[in-house]
Amino acid sequence: MRQVFSLGGLLSAVLFCLGLVAPAHAHPHVWITAQAEILYNTDGSVTAIRHVWDFDEAYTAFATQGLDTDKDGKISRSELQGLAQENAESLHEFDFFTSLKIDGKRPAFGQPKDYFMEMSGPLLRFVYVLPLEKPVKPKTSLSIEIADKSFFVAFNLIEGDGAVKLVAAPQGCTVRINRPKTQAPQQTLSEQAFQALGGGADVGLQFATRAIVACP
């Protein structure tokens, strides 16, 4: 049986298999193109974030090796479900790569649900719903960032206003997307280049896109 790795486990495995072990601390290792939906209840409270992540070609190639178990030349959702579950269950290790603030506070998240993986063209796509432990009704402000502070994973939100959508939000609510001045690099950086960016545990935040929701 093929061993299934979580995203965290795959970080080390991808480095080894793709020959990116030198230098040992090069960043990033995995690239994700992301989009998100903020889900609301009928009373205007936020209930969950629905994430859609498209992985890069190298991660896709590594993660899907041996998963075409019926040998039909296609990889189905059912064949990817074990990998989807393993990733969903490991996300808490990385705070779900999601920073949500409502009225200046960070609500607690529950466990991911309604998750699956599928092939979106040549790329592996991961979709999951990240529920709040308790629905929260914003009074003044809401913002969300999707990023890996350590920059092992590089997140780029899709272009355009659809990067973050509101689902069933109160009438008149709008989203403003604040993108970083510099996009995350599309190749692994040397340790020297990584340090030139500031190094440290929070270097990935300088590439984070923030969505700010305003409601009347």
Question: What pLDDT is stored for residue 16 in this prediction?
Answer: 41
Closest-CA residue to 62 (of 31, 95, 22, 105): 31
pLDDT in tens, the chain (216 residues): 445 555 655 554 544 443 433 344 456 778 899 999 999 999 999 999 999 999 999 889 888 989 999 999 899 999 999 989 988 988 888 899 999 999 999 999 999 999 999 999 999 999 999 999 999 999 999 999 998 887 788 898 998 888 999 999 999 999 999 987 766 555 554 455 444 445 445 555 566 788 999 998
Contacts of 74 (CB under 8 A, 6+ apart): 68, 119
Alpha-carbon Rg for the chain in angstroms: 18
DSSP H helices, the chain, are: 7-18, 57-63, 77-90, 191-196
Question: What pLDDT is stored for residue 181 in this prediction?
Answer: 73
DSSP state of 88: H
Conformational region of residue 129, where left means phi above 0, alpha means psi within -120 to 50, and beta covers everything else: beta
Question: What pLDDT is stored for residue 185 in this prediction?
Answer: 54
Q: How far apart are CA 160 and CA 155, in angstroms?
A: 15
Task: Kindly report the length of the chain.
Answer: 216
Q: How far apart are CA 51 and CA 59, in angstroms?
A: 18
Which uninterrupted H or E stretch holds 37? strand 30-40
Count of helix runs (H) and strand runs (E) in the chain: 4, 10
Q: Please measure the distance between the N-terminal and C-terminal CA atoms of the chain and give it in whole angstroms.
A: 54
Residue type, 177: I
